[in-house]
Amino acid sequence: MNAVATLIVKRDAPFLSADHAERVRAALAEAGANPGAPDWLAPGIACDIPFDGLDVGSAKPIVATALAGEAIDFACQPARGRRKALLIADMDSTMIQVECIDELADFAGLKPQVAAITEAAMRGELDFAGALKERVALLAGLGEDVLDRVYRERVVMTPGAETLVRSMGTTGAHTILVSGGFTYFVQRVADALGFADFAANLLEIDGGRLTGRVTGRVVDAEVKRQTLLDACAARGIAPADVLAVGDGANDIPMMAEAGLAAAYRGKPRARAAADITLDHADLSSLLYVQGFRDREIVEAS
């Protein structure tokens, strides 16, 4: 069959049942599709329902209606080319559960002010580069020791992030963490989660204190998109072979280039641009979306 719907729930709450699968099968059949038998990738956690006779765009609202009110995420996609050769992911509020710039601002007594700008930028209401410079300027004079405190005390990895990165790495996929945040954090998070490469902004520090400026190019939406395209060109793969994961408006251009775009707890514009929105399951669910089975998954260290 030429298409597949994948149903996923949290790995630590495996409640997905044969009834859920049958509900989706029946809805697809009623819409004129020809659904096959469920294929359980992980009992109680993830299930594939292959089908043909209906395009994936038309299938998506049908599956959504069938699962309405359930804490179940799903993806509808072509069956061919599911396994991706490149993972490119945003960091703040995606691979980690905080916005590092907001946590830095907390040490300057400015978190509400900076967080409001961050939120507006992530919703696409502000120019990202301008909003970044405005927020960084408010951090001028902050001691560089605060960077270490924020990393040690505030940065929390998102559930399933390391499992996603390391499992894709074992299949030969290249992995890139690309962030509008700062190299100090991005490099450490990339190392912790197993990313092969990263791109981020560099905070200027003079005399042990932040100057309130970034140096070099600003990693904005266009740089994220170009990083994806450059990585594809370097490895001889097509953008269709890429999984892009993000949550904000500045992730949309790279998501638009990718063969599979996922919004993790995304803002409205990112959700609208995504092929799959993860509202319930953790990031490891993106392995099941690619057809991974439990035996192929590398658990977090």
- Whether the Cβ atoms of residue 270 and residue 111 lie closer than 8 Å to each other: no
Helix, strand, coil share of the chain (percent; to 5) = 45, 25, 35
Q: Is 92 a catalytic residue?
A: yes
- Whether the Cβ atoms of residue 282 and residue 10 lie closer than 8 Å to each other: yes
Strand partners, 7: 47, 74
The DSSP 8-state label assigned to residue 141 in this structure reads T
From the list 48, 92, 241, 247, the catalytic residue is 92
Other beta carbons less than 10 A from residue 12's beta carbon? 9
Contacts 24+ apart (CB under 8 A), 21-24: 21/47, 21/49, 23/66, 23/67, 24/49, 24/63, 24/66, 24/67, 24/74
From the list 48, 73, 90, 102, the catalytic residue is 90
Distances in Å between the Cα of 226 and the Cα atoms of 35, 88, 219, 283 are 38, 11, 10, 24
Other beta carbons less than 10 A from residue 145's beta carbon? 11
Q: Is 191 a catalytic residue?
A: no
Instruction: Using the structure block, give the residue that is written with the tokens 């989706």.
Output: 24
Which residues are known catalytic residues?
90, 92
